Amino acid sequence: MSTNGSSAGRVVEFDVDRYLRNSKKVDLSGIDWEDVPNHPLTDGDVMCLHYMMDIETHTVIYLRDLLATRAAQDPHVTAFLACWVYEELWHGEAFSDFLRAHGLEVPAEPRLPDGSRPLPTRPTRTRRLREQMGVGHQLFVLPSMLGSMLVRDFVALHMTWGAINELTTLTGYHQLIRRSEHPVLHAMLRRVIQDERRHFAFYRAQGKARLAAAPRRTRKVVRWIFENFWTPVGAGVKSQEEVDALALYLFGDSPEGREGIREIDHTIQEIPGLEGLTLLEDTLDRALDRAARRPGWGGVASAPARDEQLTGAGPEAWSSEQAAA
């Protein structure tokens, strides 16, 4: 463990030097791409893969917003972010390769005359997504900039937010391994998860160190912001129904899913100021509520009661329209 950031009286339990030296494109050697079409994916699996691909590809926009804040002043944070965004780009490409190997590419993207596809893949899809979100509008970074001025240690807030995003992501990938029976997908996700663990470790160490060193008032403000403004990873990029559909598919189907989401909350509760928060489980419960009130919501065929897990909601519970286009 190193003491990066100790100049501000903080001890950050993450070795940034080591991370920077070892950062690389996710190693997918040995992944049997030719075998991908030989195993089925459910509509739910495909929905998750599209969601995950879009979120990974969106990371650079998240970085743009983050660099508009005081986070840009910290050399340890910016060095990490430089490598982090590179690794996330390759995660997006990995999901893209996997879906294409399975014969899924919506919308169809142009190819070169020899049939190859230049990088980055899916530029049409990415461009459309960013247009829909209004990315590129000058006012887009305003909330981050204002937040940065209002919250004294805005970086603490952002690092903690990042920790929750990374932990949710890697837990979601574990749940997709549980739900899907595709062996090549399992192998690919396990490689990506190794990166996500390092990302989570950095953000958690930063968030913990900063909040532990911050005045009590700062911890209270950060907690209040999480209680009132936090949204799960993908909200803003994806519609409410898409966010709910993912939560229901990965976490709302069984006691194992519920246990997975509780583990996220338990880990986040160890961050100073966030004791007792149940952000993720509350999100799942709200998704279950909406699905119970509106049959068909999120692709769940039957309406589950809030405390009833969607036990037995197998692939047949997912209508084909839910395969995210």
Residues that bind Fe ion (CB under 5 A): 56, 88, 91, 166, 196, 199
Give whichever of 84 and 318 is closer to Fe ion, judged by the CB atom. Answer: 84
Give the integer Cα–Cα distance in Å for 178 and 160: 27
Q: Closest CB to Fe ion among 195 and 253?
A: 195
DSSP secondary-structure letter at 108? Answer: P
CB of 91 to Fe ion, least distance (A): 4
Collapsed DSSP state (helix, strand, coil) of residue 136: coil
Query: Dihedral (C-alpha) 83, 89, 90, 95: value to the nearest 10 degrees?
Result: 150
Q: How far is the CB of 196 from Fe ion (least distance, A)?
A: 5
Q: What is the largest CA-CA distance in the chain?
A: 62
- Cβ–Cβ < 8 Å for 5, 205: no
DSSP 8-state code for residue 235: B
**Distance from chain centroid for Cα 295:** 27
Nearer to Fe ion, 94 or 151 (CB): 94
Shortest Cβ 170–Fe ion spacing (Å): 8
Q: Least distance (Å) from Fe ion to the CB of residue 169?
A: 6
**Closer to Fe ion by Cβ: residue 151 or 250:** 250
Measured distance CA(52)–CA(61) in Å, rounded: 15
The nearest distance, CB 175 to Fe ion, in angstroms, is 15
Q: How far is the CB of 96 from Fe ion (least distance, A)?
A: 13
Q: How far, in Å, CA of 207 to CA of 202, rounded?
A: 9
Dist. CA 238–CA 235, nearest whole Å: 5
Closer of 158 and 199 to Fe ion (Cβ): 199
Q: Which is nearer to Fe ion, 28 or 292 (CB)?
A: 28
Q: Which of 110, 117, 129 is nearest to 50 (CA)?
A: 129
